[in-house]
Amino acid sequence: MRQGLRQSMAWLHAWSGLVVGWVLFAVFVTGTASYYKAEISQWMRPELGAVQADPVRSADLAAAFLKGKMPDAAGWYIELPKPEEPLITVHWWKSLEGPFHQALLDPETGAPTKARATKGGDFLYRFHFELSMPPMLGRYIVGACALVMLVALVSGIVTHRRIFADFFTFRRGKASQRNWLDAHNVTGVLALPFHLMIAYTGLVTLAPMYMPWGVQTAYKGDEIRFFVESGMMPEMRAPAGRPGELASVGAMVATATARQGEAPEGIGIYNPGDAQASVVATFEEPHGLAHLHPQIAFDGATGAVLATNGGVRAAATTSAVMVGIHEAHFAGPALRVLFFLCGVLGAATVATGLVLWTVARTPKGAREAGLGLRLVRILNLGTIAGLPVAVAAYFLANRLLPVDLAARAEWEVGAFFAAWLLVALFGAARAEARAWPEAFAAAALLFCAVPLVSAATTGAHPFAAGARFVGFDLAMLALAAGFAFAARKAGRGVLDTARRRAARTPAEEAFQA
Amino acid sequence: MSARPIIGLRYRAAVLGRVLLAALGGYAVAALATGLLSLVLPMPRSEAVVTATLLSFALMVAVVVAVFAVRSLGRAALVVAGLALPLGLGLWLAGAFAGAA
């Protein structure tokens, strides 16, 4: 909104970054954690050991459970046990509008699991794109923020005349604003390809929802037809409208396993009580970048194979690769660490940008900070320091809440939001210069406490025989160290200000007062 | 607050105008282009839809950046209208609005 392209882009960058910054920070933090969703879920259900579950038996147990729950459902979905999640997850729903019900079953007995009730890593994963809001609303908000992030990235790139030189520029210990700018540039530019990729591919993961107009014009809104034609879904039948008996789902899993050479990861049963029920076995993505799950559809009444998906062409493959890169399921341990670090850099870019916005607008001399600036400062602290504290509180609640507490999983989530709110209120009440180091110190202490509390309550510590959570414990300690460092840095800032104030002339000091 | 230069109502209205134009106009252009390209791209129907949808986000970002880059709100409105009208016309010619047929 100023004259000149670079000036107007700088304006656009600052303001677009600000309005979505807080949501983006939360999306980056929870999304980055989601690269280790399975590990987090495993840690949060320490009772579960490694089980060698039989997929055929698991499928039959799950179908029996679901038949007891809702025989006339519109659909059931069974996630078969995996080494990293040795449970059967079942979902059932009366209508696609929801509500969607879910239960975790023991693969030995088919009864609801005895492991502690928790949402595990799934809570952070869903927060990443639904923000714990009604799912559709959350997805629209996150999508809008991702688009604005792209706008902020493009305008940020235009603003930068020295983008390559800035890559190597970090002027330590000079003016505070210059420092924050350099930190924002380093984190932003270093992982720029990642930032661009993750925002764009994030939009692609929910593209049919955000941009349904192609399906509207070319398919008259028939989304199923589109998915079938593009090879993402096998052809399925409409229900007959009269009751029927479902054949053994286990037998269909056995057939699917024989055809594909591996057991499916999930089985969808559509109109299970109908004479023309369809059963679709979905397999893990084959090796490679694309997020394309092979699927086999069965006649639910006879168990005969009806159709498979496939024949995915160039554009659909491109789209699937974009989703695949976003989720990074293809990545081995080393590459996953790199994705994780890039995610951390993304969160750091957003955080430094938010702080820079306030530093650049701090009034000189004795002028009072305006209401807007004070509000941004409070939201900054509440988000940047508050969310890590909330994550640590979520993990601690998992270990500290009684195992048989009613609505235990909801209490864990309650602990997450309560801790977040507490830090935000603390930040609003306390002077900014004090609040930052203290809130970071709290995050450091809480993350440090996670492995200790875990060892004390479950006996699982890194030195125990057959220790399973060494990686998780180390990650918690690394986070604690990171926040301790941040607390020290933020505290130093306070000291510097104090020293500068002490060096001022008495007249200046009087003016300040 | 009082010490800061007072930002005029005119300026605020112009900012609001650009924000609305960028959000609504940008989405409208992207949506119209997706709808049209899905019908006219010379490839199988499903491929055209995917191609158009994948491009739509880049298009919307470009429109948003353009709305803020041009000199005045009027010019920005011309840019958006200049894109939306031909796309809408194209869609109408391609028969996308011809009922449920």
Q: List, for residues A190-204, the tens digit of each pLDDT value.
A: 899 999 999 999 999
Residue A468's region, left for phi above 0, alpha for psi from -120 to 50, else beta, is: alpha
CB hemisphere CA count around A253 (13 angstroms):
23
- Sign for the pseudo-dihedral over CA of A285, A286, A290, A294: negative
Burial class (CB in 10 A: 0-12, 13-18, 19+), A192: middle
Identify the band that residue A173 occupies on the pLDDT scale cut at 50, 70 and 90.
low
Q: How many CB pairs under 8 A join A and B?
A: 117
Q: What does the alpha-carbon distance between residue A423 and residue A425 come to, in Å, rounded to a whole number?
A: 5
* pLDDT digit string, tens, across residues A422-475: 999 999 999 888 899 999 999 999 999 999 999 999 877 777 767 788 899 999
The pLDDT value recorded for residue A5 is 85
For chain A, which residues lie within 8 Å of any Cβ of chain B, measuring from their own Cβ? 1, 3, 5, 8-9, 11-12, 147, 150-151, 154-155, 158, 200, 203-204, 207-208, 210-211, 213-220, 226, 229-231, 313-316, 318-319, 322, 363, 367-368, 370-371
Domain boundaries, chain A: 1-44+118-231+314-361, 55-116+233-311, 365-513
Average pLDDT over residues A116-128: 95
Query: How far are the Cα atoms of A90, A135, A257, A440 from residue A254, in angstroms, in the given order?
Result: 19, 35, 5, 53
The pLDDT value recorded for residue A4 is 82
Question: Smallest CA–CA separation between B86 and chain A, in Å?
Answer: 17
* pLDDT digit string, tens, across residues A218-234: 999 999 999 999 998 89
Predicted ipTM of the assembly? 0.91
Three-state DSSP class for B98? coil
Taking the complete model, does pTM exceed 0.95, yes or no?
no
Partners of residue A313 in chain B, C-beta under 8 Å: 44, 46-47
Q: Residue A99, preceding bond cis, omega within 30 degrees? A: yes
Partners of residue B39 in chain A, C-beta under 8 Å: 217-218
Give which of A267, A298, A214 is closest to A91, Cα–Cα: A267
Cβ within 8 Å, pair B46-A220 = no
Question: Smallest CA–CA separation between B84 and chain A, in Å?
Answer: 14
**Planar angle of CA A512, B3, B6, nearest 5 degrees:** 165
Cβ within 8 Å, pair B35-A213 = yes
Task: Quote the percentage of chain A above a pLDDT of 70.
Answer: 92
Q: What does the alpha-carbon distance between residue B21 and residue B17 come to, in Å, rounded to a whole number?
A: 6
Cβ within 8 Å, pair A213-B94 = no
Burial A39-49 (b: 16+ CB within 10 A, else e): bbbbbbbbebe
The DSSP bridge pattern shows strands A88-93 and A295-299 to be unpaired
Cβ within 8 Å, pair B47-A314 = yes
Average pLDDT over residues A237-241: 87
Task: Say which of A220, A231, A368 has its CB closest to residue B100.
Answer: A220
Partners of residue B61 in chain A, C-beta under 8 Å: 147, 150-151, 154
Average pLDDT over residues A332-345: 94
| CB-CB contact of A451 with A392 (8 Å) | no
Query: How far are the Cα atoms of A49, A86, A466 from residue A52, in angstroms, in the given order?
Result: 10, 8, 17
Residue A89's region, left for phi above 0, alpha for psi from -120 to 50, else beta, is: beta
The DSSP bridge pattern shows strands A278-282 and A266-270 to be antiparallel
- Residue A208: closest CA among chain B residues belongs to which residue? B53
Partners of residue A207 in chain B, C-beta under 8 Å: 53-54, 56-57
Domain boundaries, chain B: 24-91
Q: What does the alpha-carbon distance between residue A362 and residue A376 come to, in Å, rounded to a whole number?
A: 11
Q: What does the alpha-carbon distance between residue A470 and residue A467 come to, in Å, rounded to a whole number?
A: 7
Question: Smallest CA–CA separation between B85 and chain A, in Å?
Answer: 17
Cβ within 8 Å, pair B49-A226 = yes
Partners of residue A213 in chain B, C-beta under 8 Å: 31-32, 34-35, 38, 56
Task: Say which of B32, B50, B56 has its CB closest to residue A315.
Answer: B50
The DSSP bridge pattern shows strands A278-282 and A295-299 to be antiparallel
**Planar angle of CA A36, A42, A47, nearest 5 degrees:** 170
- Residue B96: closest CA among chain A residues belongs to which residue? A217
Q: Is the pLDDT of residue B100 over 70?
A: no
The DSSP bridge pattern shows strands A100-105 and A266-270 to be unpaired
A161-165, A190-194, A319-323, B23-27, range with the lowest pLDDT: A161-165
- Residue A209: closest CA among chain B residues belongs to which residue? B53
Query: How many C-beta atoms surround the C-beta of residue B54 within 10 A?
Result: 21
Query: How far are the Cα atoms of A401, A438, A440, A441 from residue A423, in angstroms, in the given order?
Result: 21, 10, 10, 12
A35-39, A412-416, A435-439, A500-504, range with the lowest pLDDT: A500-504
For chain B, which residues lie within 8 Å of any Cβ of chain A, measuring from their own Cβ? 1, 3-4, 11, 14-15, 18, 30-32, 34-39, 43-54, 56-58, 60-61, 64-65, 68-69, 71, 91, 94, 96, 100
Partners of residue A217 in chain B, C-beta under 8 Å: 35-36, 38-39, 91, 94, 96
